[in-house]
């Protein structure tokens, strides 16, 4: 007696003695006292029965670490935890075994945290971790690829992704100069093999000039951009390059881009420190408020939202020394989060209804839901 099920936060199905994923979470500052003010600051509103936010699935909770994999027992505990780079980083950062960490996150047992440093110094609302359970098969499915709103596979950089300077570099267009007279698209990129093409970038989107004539045609991925350049210039990019780009996951590319940004940021910090090495407080203040890692989604390492600025510090402390080793689990997790947003789910601690769940009720609802979405997608 006393055993119970927990539900999958993504699919809603009840689980017990299943292979599962535990996503450690902490509440965002929007979920803390004074929520109404933070909701306004965070560009998020709740008009009546609708939550509207620019933070995707990170409205009320944000990930603290990469997911932990194991088996769920019949009492809500994570057992047979898979040992990997992530678990090693967690144990080192939090100074406790991965089993104790999972117990505190998954079961609310905070005894192990006594005497430990807070998760985020100076942020009392983030000192208590919680978690979200996900069935392993559901997680594996959702972390494999990204399905767009039109049903198109948006996993690969060839078909999807921002046209950032790093991405332009993949097809040989390199930065030439900045033109401050231009309002938005002020960074010029050129490729010596296509001399008639000028690409002007705002570091996320682009405009194109062909022989100094503006030819903006709505370029949102490499496929459309390469097609336009080839059609306009009557010259071809190599087949091997296009095949290579067609197999590169966009978030793998963004990880590499963020890694480059991180290295450049480290160089900038050293350059800033050198002239003021006798004034450490001045340097510390500058780094805290001015010189932060680029805050765009493509070039920053953090699980937290763009407004939870402590997230970069936590991520760096957890994974900074082994950043290259976590590339695959990090990228997989980003696809999971994208798809979580796509199915209208928030990162939240798991709720379970009946003590042992009700697969029959779930089956009834999912069968009808499948009929509905089948009709909707057929008519598009």
* CA end-to-end distance (rounded Å), the chain: 50
Strands of the chain, DSSP E: 6-7, 14-15, 19-27, 44-45, 52-53, 61-63, 68-72, 78-79, 130-135, 174-178, 187-190, 197-201, 206-210, 213-214
Task: Compute the distance between CA of residue 190 and CA of residue 169 in angstroms, rounded to an integer.
Answer: 9
Question: What pLDDT, in 10s, does the model give residues 60-73?
Answer: 888 889 999 999 98
Burial class (CB in 10 A: 0-12, 13-18, 19+), 35: middle
Question: What pLDDT, in 10s, does the model give residues 264-283?
Answer: 777 777 777 777 777 777 66
Cβ(118)–Cβ(86) below 8 Å:
no
Task: Compute the distance between CA of residue 180 and CA of residue 321 in angstroms, rounded to an integer.
Answer: 38
- pLDDT interval class at 87 (50, 70, 90): very high
Question: What pLDDT, in 10s, does the model give residues 181-224?
Answer: 988 889 999 999 999 999 999 888 899 999 767 766 678 889 99
- pLDDT interval class at 57 (50, 70, 90): confident
What mean pLDDT, rounded, does the chain reach? 82
Take residue 136 and report the two structure tokens written for it.
């392993």
Q: What is the pLDDT of residue 29?
A: 56
* Cβ atoms < 10 Å from Cβ of 164: 21
Question: What pLDDT, in 10s, does the model give residues 220-236?
Answer: 889 999 999 999 999 99
Question: What pLDDT, in 10s, does the model give residues 286-327?
Answer: 555 444 434 443 345 777 655 555 677 778 888 988 999 999
Question: What pLDDT, in 10s, does the model give residues 308-318?
Answer: 556 777 788 88
Q: Smallest Cα–Cα separation from 202: which of 137, 298, 128?
A: 298
What is the enclosing helix (H) or strand (E) of 342? helix 327-342
Task: Compute the distance between CA of residue 107 and CA of residue 287 in angstroms, rounded to an integer.
Answer: 37
* Beta carbons within 8 Å of 29's beta carbon, 6+ residues apart: 38, 123, 125, 126, 307, 308
Q: Smallest Cα–Cα separation from 105: which of 164, 185, 24, 49?
A: 24
């Amino acid at each position: 007696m006393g055993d119970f099920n927990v539900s999958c936060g993504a699919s809603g199905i009840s689980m017990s003695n299943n292979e599962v994923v535990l996503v450690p979470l902490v509440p965002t500052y929007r979920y803390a006292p004074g929520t109404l003010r933070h909701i306004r600051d965070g560009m998020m509103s709740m008009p009546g029965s609708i939550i509207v936010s620019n933070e995707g699935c990170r409205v009320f909770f944000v990930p603290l670490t990469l997911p932990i994999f194991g088996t769920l027992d019949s009492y809500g505990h994570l057992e047979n935890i898979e040992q990997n780079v992530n678990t090693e980083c967690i144990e080192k950062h939090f100074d406790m075994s991965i089993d104790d960490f999972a117990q505190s996150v998954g079961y609310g047992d905070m005894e192990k945290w006594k005497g430990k440093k807070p998760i985020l110094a100076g942020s009392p609302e983030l000192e208590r971790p919680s978690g979200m359970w996900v069935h392993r098969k559901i997680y594996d499915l959702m972390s494999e690829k990204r399905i767009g709103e039109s049903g198109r596979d948006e996993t690969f950089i060839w078909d999807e992704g921002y046209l950032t300077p790093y991405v332009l570099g993949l097809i040989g267009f390199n930065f030439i100069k900045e033109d401050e007279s231009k309002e938005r698209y002020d960074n010029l990129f050129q490729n010596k093999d296509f001399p008639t093409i000028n690409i002007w970038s705002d570091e996320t989107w682009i405009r194109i000039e062909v022989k100094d004539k503006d030819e903006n045609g709505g370029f949102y991925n490499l496929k459309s951009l390469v097609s336009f350049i080839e059609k306009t210039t009557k010259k071809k990019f190599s087949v091997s390059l296009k095949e290579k780009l067609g197999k590169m996951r966009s978030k793998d590319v963004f990880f590499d881009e963020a890694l480059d940004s991180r290295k450049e940021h480290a160089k900038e910090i050293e350059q800033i420190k050198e002239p003021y090495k006798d004034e450490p407080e001045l340097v510390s203040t500058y780094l805290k408020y001015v010189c932060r890692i680029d805050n765009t989604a493509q070039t920053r390492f953090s699980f937290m939202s763009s407004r939870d600025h402590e997230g970069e510090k936590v991520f760096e402390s957890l994974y900074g020394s082994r950043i290259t080793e976590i590339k695959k689990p990090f990228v997989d997790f980003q696809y999971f989060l994208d798809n979580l947003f796509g199915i209208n789910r928030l990162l939240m601690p798991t709720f379970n209804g009946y003590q042992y769940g009700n697969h029959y009720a779930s089956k009834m609802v999912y069968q009808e839901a499948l009929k509905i979405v089948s009709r909707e997608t057929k008519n598009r």
